[in-house]
Amino acid sequence: MSTPTNLENAAPAAPSDFIRDIVAAHVSEHKYPRVHTRFPPEPNGYLHIGHAKSICLNFGIAREFGGICNLRMDDTNPTKEDIEYVESIQADVNWLIGGWAEDRLGLKQNGQTPEAKMVDGKTDFFVPPVFGTSEEERKHSAVKLEPFYASDYFDQIYEFAVALIQKGKAFVCDMPPDQMDDYRRNGKASPFRDRSVAENLDLFTRMKNDEFPDGTRVLRAKIEVDAANIWMRDPLIYRIKHADHHQTGGKWCIYPMYDFAHCLSDYIEGITHSICTLEFEVHRPLYDWILESLDLPRPLPHQYEFAKLIPSHTIVSKRKLITLVQEKIVTGWDDPRLPTISGIRRRGVTAEALRNFAYNIGVTKYISLTDVAVYEHAIRDDLNKRAQRRLAVLRPIKVVITNYPEGQVEELNAINNPENPISGGRKLPFSRELFIERDDFAEVPPPKFFRLKPGGEVRLKYAYIIKCEEVIKDTAGNLVELRCTADLDSKTGGATSGRKIKGTIHWVSAAHCVDAEVRLYDRLFTEAEPEKDGRDFKSVLNPHSLEVLTAKCEPSLKEASLEERYQFERLAYFALDLDSQPGKLVFNRTITLKDAWAKEAQKS
RNA sequence: UGCCCGAUGGUGUAACGGUAGCACAGCAGACUCUGAAUCUGUUUGUCGUGGUUCAAAUCCACGUCGGGCAACCA
């Protein structure tokens, strides 16, 4: 999005956490020629706010230490993955790192796969990154770039498996799945554990050549039968799966498991710091064992683990996100109520706000629940500096200024953003008939109410001080109109404009305003932990997570753009939605302004 | 049950043997042509018990509590 040029760069100078400390130590001792991280999502769902934390960590490190961060699709399970997700992941990553770390993004030339070369007399596989480009440059470049894919390495990973067999460190196991699980749980050796290298090679080749049905045979690493760490109990590294792959089509009927593919993918790409979440901690010995068993010529990557983000008042598990989408509880993966990156973006949150949030929450190994208020604060903080102020009335009541001439129109000066003087101003039409916010009038005012009330005065922002003279109701007793008089000398800058009036309210001119659909989003769940104590998250859905209204907007909003952010004064921040058409404005409420009055009103 | 990891105010995080700090939230006030923003003040904390030390959130031991893993998922 376009960024006002004079915005202070709110991004804090240098984040610090235990992983960056490790990287910094490696840099100072020149352990690696260059820091190289990676962000390796599986394309089986949309990226969410938890991934955003990981992206900010991995690209942040690349950025701070002059390194590179590869984007890699961790696509070793074709039955769960889809090209739709590959595409959404790229869009989301580009958006989040745009203008911040996009030049650290490691990609590869379209179709490029690792080549075998000799290093120190050993066969090696390596695929170099292309980096230092902006998204814009990539779009116009003749050389097409794309993410890395674990599936690009299936040939090499297969070779590594063969090498492991040849070293006597892997074997083909014919046990049925249930029995194998049972043996592993009980630390018993597979009866096939001691097959000869020749037989293993033959069987593995035949697995690859489509001679066996799914589930009949697997390749297992030969490590330890009864290791304390279950992941070291002769873990499975290749399985037969007759399924077309979104990248390799029908080429393979065997696919490597995560543990085998991931460390080797890291190695092939020259990754130095393989940063993942805590649940992989127990896999680390296996990660190291595989790489160390293969006698590889280049420095090995190492794995470091951190606690994933758990935000309050939402859910982040892919399976449950899918449920919300499929059961149409939300409108799609980019529903602005969802914690998906595409939903967050559509809601109007900027990438910078999301990055600042990621910085604020830090990185540790302690599993914690992050209060959504921290997230909301990051959004408000960003939007306050960025958003153009506008006047709009969500729930209108009509006001007639009885002492203002009929047919007269004044153009009043309004400031676009008091936080940002160079953002300039605009003209606001004022006339005899206006709309004000329903909540800004009370016939029977509660204590400390300093908005409009019968016989009371209030200031219209940028305009006059008005006094409520009469309340007009229909026969049913519903409020239809307020008749007010204005202090005609009190216009901003006028003789009596300095009068102390406690309340200032927003308004629009009835004859000049434009209608817009506004979608008022709120938290999707009413509870901080929707699934606390095994409760069904659907039982705590917030019934008011979306309210749609037609708002009365000042006319300048006709020129609203998708890139801009708006504050409807005294209400909330809004962004134009994708659904907007020429002549039909649709705004998403990104987040409300803090509302001290709501808190005060609740006390009484 | 085994193995691994963790524990600092309400929440999140810092302090790397030497004054427990910051942010969010809360509360009180100032300012205000946004009850926003801004500013000021403020409540609340080192899981427990021992030990080492002049000195422990930090090192050690034991315990308690919480979490992860035990998929032909990643």
Q: What is the ipTM of this complex?
A: 0.96
End residue of a domain, out of A310, A332, A359: A310
Closest of A453, A465, A460 to residue A434, by C-alpha: A460
- Which residue carries 């007010």 as its tokens? A484
Residue A362 CB closer than 7 angstroms to strand B?
yes
**A335 shares a domain with A241:** no
Closest of A35, A267, A73 to residue A151, by C-alpha: A73
**A409 shares a domain with A365:** no
CA A41 – C1' B27 distance (Å)? 44
Q: What's the structural domain count of chain A?
A: 3
**A347 shares a domain with A288:** no
CA A68 – C1' B23 distance (Å)? 30
Which tens digits make up the pLDDT trace of A383-442?
999 999 999 999 999 999 999 999 999 999 999 999 998 999 999 999 999 999 999 999
Compute the distance between CA of residue A466 and CA of residue A295 in angstroms, rounded to an integer: 83
CA distances from A236 to A195, A283, A284, A372 (A): 16, 13, 15, 40
**pLDDT at A119 (0 to 100):** 87
Residue A245 CB closer than 7 angstroms to strand B?
no
Mean pLDDT of A570-593: 97
CA A305 – C1' B7 distance (Å)? 17
Q: Which residue is nearest to nucleotide B38 (CA to C1')?
A: A419
Residue A416 maps to a domain: yes
**Could you give the percent of chain A with pLDDT greater than 90?**
92
Compute the distance between CA of residue A486 and CA of residue A452 in angstroms, rounded to an integer: 13
**pLDDT at A597 (0 to 100):** 95
Nearest-nucleotide field for A276 (CA, C1'): B74
Compute the distance between CA of residue A238 and CA of residue A157 in angstroms, rounded to an integer: 10
Mean pLDDT of A541-550: 96
Output the pTM of the full model. Answer: 0.95
Which nucleotides in chain B have some atom under 7 angstroms from a protein Cβ? 2-8, 10-16, 23-27, 33-38, 66-74
Mean pLDDT of chain A: 95
Residue A190 CB closer than 7 angstroms to strand B?
no
End residue of a domain, out of A262, A293, A310: A310
Which region holds residue A144: left if phi is over 0, alpha if psi is between -120 and 50, else beta?
beta
Residue A505 CB closer than 7 angstroms to strand B?
yes
End residue of a domain, out of A275, A310, A345: A310
Which tens digits make up the pLDDT trace of A52-78?
999 999 999 999 999 999 999 999 999
Lowest mean pLDDT among A266-270, A445-449, A564-568: A445-449
CA angle (A113 as vertex; A26, A92 as ends), nearest 5: 70
Compute the distance between CA of residue A469 and CA of residue A401 in angstroms, rounded to an integer: 10
Name, in order, each residue with C-beta under 8 angstroms of A324's C-beta and a sequence gap of 6 or more.
A315, A330, A335, A338
Which tens digits make up the pLDDT trace of A525-543?
999 999 988 889 999 999 9
**A316 shares a domain with A305:** no
Residue A531 CB closer than 7 angstroms to strand B?
no
Could you tell me if A435 and A510 are in contact, meaning their C-beta atoms sit under 8 angstroms apart?
A: yes
Nearest-nucleotide field for A42 (CA, C1'): B74
**pLDDT at A122 (0 to 100):** 86
CATH number at residue A449: 2.40.240.10
CA A352 – C1' B50 distance (Å)? 49
Residue A445 maps to a domain: yes
Q: Which residue is nearest to nucleotide B34 (CA to C1')?
A: A570
Name, in order, each residue with C-beta under 8 angstroms of A377's C-beta and a sequence gap of 6 or more.
none
**A215 shares a domain with A174:** yes
**A183 shares a domain with A71:** yes
Q: Which domain holds residue A381?
A: 312-386+517-603
Compute the distance between CA of residue A371 and CA of residue A311 in angstroms, rounded to an integer: 6
**A504 shares a domain with A545:** no
CA A474 – C1' B62 distance (Å)? 78
CATH number at residue A144: 3.40.50.620
**A228 shares a domain with A105:** yes
Residue A459 CB closer than 7 angstroms to strand B?
yes
